[in-house]
Chains A and B, each alone.
Chain A
């Protein structure tokens, strides 16, 4: 069990000062790692940890007791609420005077990733990865923030004794966990994260901490996502079985759509993939950061019964709308973690539910907590009560923060 903090070169320690200019887009993944393609995104400091390990084996009471002894919390020097506390606008850091993923406009914000409920426009200073900043600019327009400060994974900056760095969260391109360190106390805000492989973004990096602040979108033991590869195989089997029909896959515009395309490429689907217009801008951002999605074609066709045998990717809101009538007897598919529950799939009227999620499932959530073995767990949004219950059974102090304003993008 290796839960050391991610190493970052001390010379990178910089003062937290906004850059006045907007960052120039480069074709490099932030942090200086050149990436020749999707498969090449492998940050140096990442250890991959097999998900779905047996939980009980990962909880080592001795390790936890040892860490608690040395934690500033356990000796009563600092209360973690002094470093991060829930406020109506979001999670706030009083000594550093910034928010993480605020839901209202604030002076300083650290943004974990580009989904609309986490990355809102109108803040003063925004700190995030280059990729997230590019996504925000694409989605909210050039005036999304007064000023920005790009921060690469592992790069540390500090202000008034508070040190902040970002670690990959494995959720979507540019997604990060926020690591906050102050007077020997380390708190990690996971943002949204997953542990299963994703060819379009850097994998989740476990960071040892005193307090782990986790999401809980799929925190019920019935959420056990199958491997994404097996779900993609299900889609391809259906394409083979119904070659005269168009398969329209509903997928969230940012992250899921690109991951699905990359997964299709991984299993050898080389034909052009047709994409709905709403996806094009984000696809272009991914391309700018060297995520290779292969040949894409617009799904704009004039004739009826077009594109038999093709795969079309569209935002979920486009399913079962008049837009779908242009395709050949379409099969409506939907790629989402919610599709694991049959009633949810039926509710959406989906013919081919694909359980592909960019969030950690129950096994990943609990295995991550067991692996990090923090002194405390805070739970931000989702099904807090079930994860709290699990922590209680595992003997880890946990509390729900009841932050409002976060939703799975279009749950």
Chain B
């Protein structure tokens, strides 16, 4: 438990992805089975408990600590599990520190009424950081800023194998993953992925570099289709077992029971999850209403019905067709969908084109209807097999040009990790005129990338030189009609928002240019953003 507690403690404060990977990989290398396996399962969310309900915790701690002192302490710390972990009075002697595996196995076997007693015994045996780790585990959700994918990446790094291999295997493995570690450490055979309807690691596209790539690519080698603005999904049905996977292999089926119920085929379809009404894709904002939820309800299902726009076929019946070239897979997909005639799956059509110039024109001016809402175009090599990961060459995404506005820098916040000494997160605003004709800035968004290191240094110096007020890590920067820094902000789309003062929210905003030359009063008006909403 000690090593696991120490790992969680470090992860919770470590901002950099690489440092997190080092921490987890080192932990996996240094910790024996089955301890590390249970830890990995906790990190990936494959085991979780909600044994320590707040009421249970309060009851247990109030038997040990004065209620008044506890209340003051909780008030100061602000987190129940952490307060209990810190305040727990040590009983010297007799207490043996429990191992993580012991905790997991005891909880699996315990009846509900036994749980408070177990928790009390473990708390007695653990030091403060161990108590915190235990309570984090028992209250469900570690929340230490590590995604399941990164945890799998760390496991893959341990064995020097691509993360895709671990992801594909994942669904045939069970915690504490003795067979996985044996394979990763070269002591055993690679586990066989045989679970029905398991996730197949997805193939991803590179962003195209128009200047460098297009000139050396032959348009005849590529198929083009619209890049739909939804969420990548993989719908798999094998022997009646159905799953809907996200692009990272998370099982998102439970959030879309309406869709799952209507899927009836044998195979694996790669496509885009979209809100669809009468066969037409709705904007991303509609889909967002159904994302980030573990389950759903009838009201949401009725208001935001979803479907899949298919663009690839990985399994045709029981046959794995991933090694076939895209041309053949596409033909199989078309036949497959035509025979299926499903009301919730349609086909992403290909766009014929003769030259890159013709395709560029199509991208710049999509025909009316659904293509107008697409994010751009996808290019897929006709002869490419379906390869996990992001290989360079077979698939490209060619995104539409972003929207641009000129906004004025209003606030800057210190960054994290490498950027902790820089003011690198920028809140910017546009002009709004009140009833009296007075112009003032209203914040419309926040961006923290899109600039070079040299530009960051200059922006940081500007913020420090022109601070008018400080609020903890945030500085207000001088911004008025006479003086201010204009930022050209690029973004993908705009939505109405009741949470933002300006009434609009940008999608994917980033700094595209810094207009050192432009007077602040010439920045854009809120009215011009509102026009974009239509």
Contact = CB atoms under 8 A, between A and B. Distances in A.
Given A343-B77, A351-B14, A389-B68, A222 B421 contact: no
Contacts of A353: 13
A221 interface: yes
Contacts of A349: 414, 416, 420, 473
Contact of B86 (A242, A340, A385, A390): A340
B79 A241 contact: no
Interface in A207-257: 220-224, 226, 234, 238, 241-242
A226 B126 CA distance: 13
Contact of B417 (A220, A351, A390): A351
B92 interface: yes
B77 A222 contact: yes
B76 interface: yes
B414 A320 contact: yes
B521 to A, nearest CB: 31
Among A220, A222, A325, which residue has the most Cβ atoms of chain B within 10 A? Answer: A222
A393 B79 CA distance: 26
A389 B23 contact: no
Contacts of A383: 72
Interface of B: 6, 10, 12-15, 19, 22-23, 26, 65-66, 68-70, 72-73, 76-79, 82-83, 86-87, 89-90, 92, 127-129, 414, 416-418, 420-421, 460, 472-473
16 contacts: A221-B73, A222-B73, A224-B128, A320-B420, A324-B420, A325-B421, A341-B82, A341-B86, A342-B12, A343-B78, A343-B79, A349-B416, A351-B13, A352-B10, A383-B72, A390-B66
Given A242-B22, A386-B72, 15 more contacts: A52-B90, A222-B87, A226-B129, A241-B26, A320-B421, A329-B418, A343-B79, A345-B13, A347-B472, A349-B420, A351-B13, A351-B14, A352-B10, A385-B72, A386-B69
A383 B6 CA distance: 29
A101 B370 CA distance: 76
Contacts of A131: none
Interface string A346-362: 11011111000000000
A195 B436 CA distance: 66
Interface of A: 52, 54, 220-224, 226, 234, 238, 241-242, 319-325, 329, 332, 340-343, 345-347, 349-353, 383, 385-386, 389-390, 393
A350 B22 contact: no
Contacts of B23: 241
A8 B472 CA distance: 50
Contacts of A320: 414, 420-421
Nearest to B70: A221
Nearest to B66: A393
Q: Which 3 A-B pairs have the closest CB atoms?
A: A222-B86, A320-B420, A222-B73
A350 B13 contact: yes
Nearest to A325: B421
B128 A324 contact: no
Contacts of A346: 13
Contacts of A322: 421, 460
A390 B472 CA distance: 34
A226 B127 CA distance: 9
B416 A221 contact: no
Contacts of B15: 351
A226 B128 contact: yes
Contacts of A343: 77-79
Nearest to B78: A343
Given A342-B82, A351-B13, A220 B72 contact: yes
A229 to B, nearest CB: 14
Nearest to B132: A342
Nearest to A333: B13
A324 B79 CA distance: 32
B69 A389 contact: yes
Contacts of A350: 13
B13 A221 contact: no
